[in-house]
Every structure is written in structure tokens, then in C-alpha cells.
A and B are shown apart, each in its own frame.
Chain A
Amino acid sequence: MSETQYELNVGLEVHVELATASKMFCRCKTKFGDPPNTNVCPVCMGLPGALPVANEEAVRLGVMAALALNCRVNLSSRFDRKNYFYPDLPKAYQISQFEEPLAVSGYVELASGKRIRIRRLHLEEDAGKSMHAGDDITTASYSLLDYNRSGVPLAEIVSEPDISSPEEAREYLEKMQRTLRFAGVSDVKMEEGSMRVDCNVSVRRKGEAQMGVPVELKNLSSFRAVTRALAYEYDRQSRLIEQGKRIARETRHWDEDKGVTVSLRAKESSQDYRYFPDPDLPRLELDEAFIESVQRAMPRLPNQVVDFYVNVLGLPKYDAEVLTVDPNLVKFFDRCVELGGEPKPVSNWLMGDIMAYMNAKGLSYDTIPVTPENLVAMLGLIKDGVISGKIAKDVLIKMFETGKAPGDIVKEEGLEQVSDDASLSVIVDSVIAANPEVVAQFKAGKDKVLGFLVGQVMKASKGRANPAKVNIMLREKILS
């Protein structure tokens, strides 16, 4: 089987939880991680007689997401009922937009310039959460239900099957995640379930006009899972075609541990959701002025920020891409620059020691352990020669741990560079006295050995000596 003989076509359905304080159709809290069944009411428990009332902020965030993803927002859209039975779905229908979605025709642009088209973006409510008591889904004798998530607002974003490799899928998801995070519409955290991805995968022979049979993949809980599952499916499906076998239209479950997909249910007996317009909810009517106001309130999106960093601040493209991984990082960086920090050194420290520390501690960018003010102050100390770059690394660790200003740390710990002539002179003299052979070599014109002597002075001063000054003083003392 030749690798290049087959073509992969993937469409992604992404659900993101909108960052509202209350639910889509009731005013229960949406807070993640609250004790089970504490954020529920007659509406989101589907009690008889309760009625839905839509959340204005969810609509605003939905529009914001749509605009950020280059979609066209429909001025008039509608909520339908999607009817199916499942214990985590309290009303036995999900309120969703089927016939007339909030927005259509958007795209995400990949680094290659290729655009992955977005077919539609619509609003809907989330279901509750069911857990299976006992070992796993196959041996548990009952399921446990938590309805805190029931009714949390979601935007569902459906792409066209334009994605043609696992890497493109990953890039699409990362770009979308960044964009939505910058737009402030969602946390977009896969690990907390505020971003969920389903794939529709098909494979066909290259050049074939007809799309392959779509297979739906579920249980993809990380970007890595998405790329692995897609790679697996590409192999599986192209092998089946190669063998002349039929690909079943089905839903498959990604088994993260075994690294395989397994058939969950046939799609032939596809569910009949009996969609119809929800009679409790009149049409969602928006006007141009509202959409313009959302557009005006749109925060800068990652590609705009990258452009600015490269073209105005003169950062390398690489730095700009790394810094725009998260809006909080961008905010931090921008503030540093605003406070007079030089862009490149700020970027270096952020991408270097700060990120390393945060990764080690597992911190997220909403809790950067130093303030922009303190980082800029530290850079100033380096620039003014108060501390060396090397000492600064230690000062930074102290700043992480104590939250103190760098100036205070330097003072308390006595870390200032030794620049005054008297103290330096004593150390330099002792180094000259201790290394007569090296001094002789230098005198004989072997310029390179000076570095060794400077190192010895630095060592003796525990790194606090000002290297430039040491250099000059050594020369003067040996040669005079």
C-alpha cells in the first residue's frame, strides 16, 4: 500500500463552553468543579412546568466567537428541540439551533495559508454529566448523574471536511483555541471539558470525486488524542479500501491506552432527533448595531498581535508566535513593554526562565508568578549594572517565591555587583598574587588568559563583581 495513494478528509465538530456566569436558559451558576448537583433549578433539571429564558451574555459571546472565526452572523436565527433520551439530558431534548444557526461561512487560516472553512456556528445547551459506578462503562451496574453542567451554554462550531492531515487538524484546533481564548468567549480547556472535539473522518483514493464513507470519532480528550486517532483511522480506512472492503458508516470510540478506535454503534440506524422549533422560544433577532458593537468590543486576536510584535516591536516571528499562545501572556508582555521594558529582553526572560519555572510548577498563564513591574525593574537592574545576568536568574527565583521587588531582594541578600574600586582591588590583587604563572603568560602577550583571571575574580566575589570593571582593573594592575 502506497502512503500517498489515499487522501484523508476530516471535518471537526467543536463544542466550546461559553464563559458566562449563569447557564444558557436559567440563572444557575456555571462554575466548573462545584460539588455535584449544587447548581441546579427546576429549569435545568427539566422539572414539569419549568420554562427556558435565554442568557443575553451567551448570545453576545456566541456572536463574538462567530466574528472571531470570520463567520457571517445571521440577524435572525432560531432554537429547535433535538429530541433523544439519555439520563444526562433532563428534558429529553436539547435546545439547539438546527435549521437556522447563529452564524455560517467562517474559516480558520493555517500557517500555510490554507483556509479550513467553518460551515456553521450555533448556540445550544450542554447536558449533565454521567459517571459509571463500578469499574468502567461495561461492568458498572448503574450510572451516577451530576446536573451542574446541564444547561451550560455551548457554541458548536462545525467545519467543512477540508482538513487533510492529523497535523492540519491539530493546527486548526490550536488556532481556534487561541482565537477563542483571545476573544474571551471561552476557557477552551480540553482537560476541563470546556472544549470538546468530535471528528468526521473519511478516506478516499486520490483523485476520486466522491467523498469516502464518514466515520465519527468520539472520546478525543486532547489534541494529541485527535492527531493519534486520525492517524490511526487513516491507516485503518486506507487498508480496508486497499483490501477492497467496505467502510462502515459508524461511530467509533478512541481508546487512548490501546491507541486504537473501536466501533461504538452503527450509524445506519441513525438517530431520528425529530427536530422542531422550540415553541417556548421566539426567534433570536439581532440588529446590525448590536453586531457592530460586539465587533468593536473585540479584543485583539492572535494574528493581529503577531503582526504587531513583528512589524512594530521588531520581535522575531518565533517569539511572537510563542507569546501569543495565551492572552494572559500577551497582556503581561504588553504591560512590560508599556512600562519601558525592551521587547526582546522581556521576550527572552518570558520564554526562558519564566516559562520554564511555570512549566515545572504546572502553572497556567492566568497566574504568572511575577508582576510586569518587577520583571521590568529586574531588567533595569541588569541594564544599570547593579546585577549581572547570572545573578538575575537567582533573583528571579526569589521573586517567584517571595513576590518581593528585585531591588529589595538584591539589597537584602547583598547581591549588588561589586563595582567600587576598593573592594574590587582587594580581590583582584589576591587573584594576581595566587596565579603568577597565568599573569606571566598574559604579560608575555597571551591575551586570551585574561578570561581565566576574570573568571577567578568572579568566583571569588561569588558572581557579584562587575565583569567589565574587573577586566579593566586586571589589565591596569598587571600591565602597569
Chain B
Amino acid sequence: MAMIEIKNLKKNFGSNEVLKGIDQEVEQHEVLCIIGPSGSGKSTMLRCINHLEEPTSGEIFIDGELVTKSNLDNIRTKMGMVFQQFNLFPHKTVLENLTIAPMSVKGVSKEEAEEKALKLLDRVGMLEKADAYPKSLSGGQQQRVAIARALCMDPEIMLFDEPTSALDPEMVGEVLDVMKSLAKEGMAMIVVTHEMGFAREVANKVIFMDGGYIVEQGSPEDVLGNPQEERTQDFLSKVLV
């Protein structure tokens, strides 16, 4: 059974059809990269998976369980989400950013939550900033903290929404390195990205989206190295200079 199963997902914003019927599966330990031009629906698709955007129609199953309004909060704890703009809580320290959800949502004790948070901060190389506030950190550091925050909930899958798009170029690497190490440890991931190098190196499957459809999908070698569809070729010729 697939970990995530998306069936005929459609999303309209008013009369604007952003997703026109998406079917997709993600297996355990699988890294799926979604590429495509802006406005193609790739971020919307990712956001529909944990219902930050409510799908207009279609079904999403996590571990075989249909996502509905009533089980949403519970299911969201299985999915870590990392945003383009980091969205750390500015009124909380780095450590508090990591412990607040485990303590308030799962009822984990403070000691336990902090012990785990410190381990995860160490893992993303941010241990010495545990008591800092987010605004004193660089973009790359904030994003690494955001990844650690999502990991604190023990997610089964991580969703990344253009995690490096808001970063200065010299900080992209440090965030991608954390993501690569996650993938190596077998974390299932769905990554919306413009980093073709990352997709080529880490992804098990790449899908190319345009106009609300999945135009082409397959291994990174096939989709990025030898695209069959004209729109994929056109897009890649513009981004792979």
C-alpha cells in the first residue's frame, strides 16, 4: 500500500482551475520531486495534500486513510511541512519553536520535548542557536530550524514547498545538504523545487507539471535527461543553462 495516494485531485480558485485531475502515489522511503513553471499548480498540489488548501474534489489517502476534516489535525502530525518563507514563530526561541507543537499537540513533557529538539537541532547544525530568536538567524539557518521543527513531530513524510527559493544563493547548499541526509535515512519526501541538481541526485521520481496536469513523470534520468514531451523539453532548456 502506498504511503500517500492522490486520486483525481482537482482544485479551483474561483473560476480558475489550478489542478485539473492529479493522480499520484508516493511509497515509503521514496523522494518525489515536482518541477514545473510557476503557476503550474505544483505548490497547490503539495498544499492540498495536507489540506492547507482544501481540494475542490478528489481524494487523498495517507497510509490508506482518507483525509477528511475530522481526522485532519491527527493526519497533519504525520506530515512535516517546510515552507518557502520558513514561517518560524518569531515570538519563540529556536528551541521553543521546536517544542511547542510536541508539547501542546501531543502532550509530550517539556524535558522530553527539549531533549529531542536539541538532538534535532544538532542534526541540522543549529544546536548553538537554540536560545536565539528567529529574526537573528540567516535565511539558511531559519530554514534548517524549520526542518528540525517539522521533524519534531516524528512525521512519516516531509513536504517541502520550494524550500530554497527565498534563500540567498550561498545558503542554498546548507539546506539541500540537510534534505539530502534526510533522504538518505529513508525519509519519504515530496519536494517542490527548482533545484534540478538536487532532483537529479536525490529523487526516485520526478514529475513535471504544467497547466494543472502532470505532463511527464519518471526517473530523474528520464525526465531531466531525456524528456519525451515538448513542454518538458522547452521548460528544461530554459532552466538548465
* A, B co-complexed: no
